[in-house]
Amino acid sequence: MTGKTIDGKAFAGDVRAQVAEHVERLKKDHGITPGLAVVLVGEDPASEVYVAAKHKQTVEVGMASFEHKLPADVSEEDLFALIDQLNEDPTVHGILCQFPVPDHLNERRVVARIDPNKDVDGLSVVNAGLLASGEKGLVSCTPLGCLMLLRDQVGNMSGMDAVVVGRSNLFGKPMAQLLLGENCTVTIAHSRTKDLADVCRKADILVAAVGRAEMVKGEWVKPGATVIDVGITRIPHPDKPGKTKLLGDVEFATAAENAAAITPVPGGVGPMTIACLLANTVTACCRAHGLEEPTGLTV
């Protein structure tokens, strides 16, 4: 029996609909429009596509979208001056700088310059520390999206064994913290984990985020487990010359034979990232104005 395929695209649509309802309520009841500012440095084609998608979805839910495109050779001083300006702007509730940035700029310094209360990517040391301490901050969008999918699919996760394959600051560590917050017993596995297959087989919840195509084999999946595949690797399409194909970190077809539910690639985790970016912006807006936060859109 094949496990259920988790439709991240449809779920992300539901999240955006909830965001739109909250935005409408903020406008109607308080005269406030949440605003998201995106800073793009240089002309990376993939980044331009992502920024365009973020702008489109921001506008669709009724929020204000502020786009700032800077030349590839912009100085750190000038970039920081823009970020400082956005930090002080009361109409901007969320700020993100699209990564990667050119080599002469330091991503950690860029993130550190953003007001943590407007850091809707949840990447700052402050927000990471708040998450680790069990305090309220802004949570990195992709882990937050995965948590939403798990809450919807699994419900109460208390006492479950969860394995996160990947230990990055961007995803692995915050995902583990979120699962701890759900009272899971959490193992963080990585490239140096001994007997990785055996570690994965113990997981009721298996989250793969290493960026290696189909590294997690179907036989590594415990029967009845829920599998969240965060990886995206683009390879030449085997049947369509000149085209590419996206693969996840999990060998989907064989894993689906064991899993109770599994996210596909594409169409699983990916759509949730922008949806959670919008949710974080609404949350940041409510906190800035001392208003009740939307339920179900944060932790």
Question: Which residues are the active-site residues?
Answer: 54, 98, 121
- Taking residue 125's Cβ as centre, other Cβ atoms within 10 Å add up to 13
Are the C-beta atoms of 271 and 263 separated by less than 8 Å? no
Query: Residues 181-210, buried b or exposed e (16+ Cβ, 10 A)?
Result: ebebebbbbeeebeebeebbbebbbbbbbb
* Amino acid, res. 173: K
- Taking residue 147's Cβ as centre, other Cβ atoms within 10 Å add up to 24
Instruction: Name the strand (E) or helix (H) holding 81.
Output: helix 76-88
Query: Residues 276-294, buried b or exposed e (16+ Cβ, 10 A)?
Result: bbbbbbbbbbbbbeeeeeb
- Taking residue 12's Cβ as centre, other Cβ atoms within 10 Å add up to 25
Determine the distance from the C-alpha atom of residue 282 to the mean position of all C-alpha atoms in its chain, rounded to a whole number. Answer: 15
Gyration radius of the chain over CA positions: 19
Give the distance between the most distant pair of CA atoms in the chain.
58
Question: Residue 87 to residues 110, 121, 290: CA-CA distances in angstroms?
Answer: 13, 14, 18
Q: If DSSP codes are grouped into helix, strand and coil, which group holds residue 207? A: strand
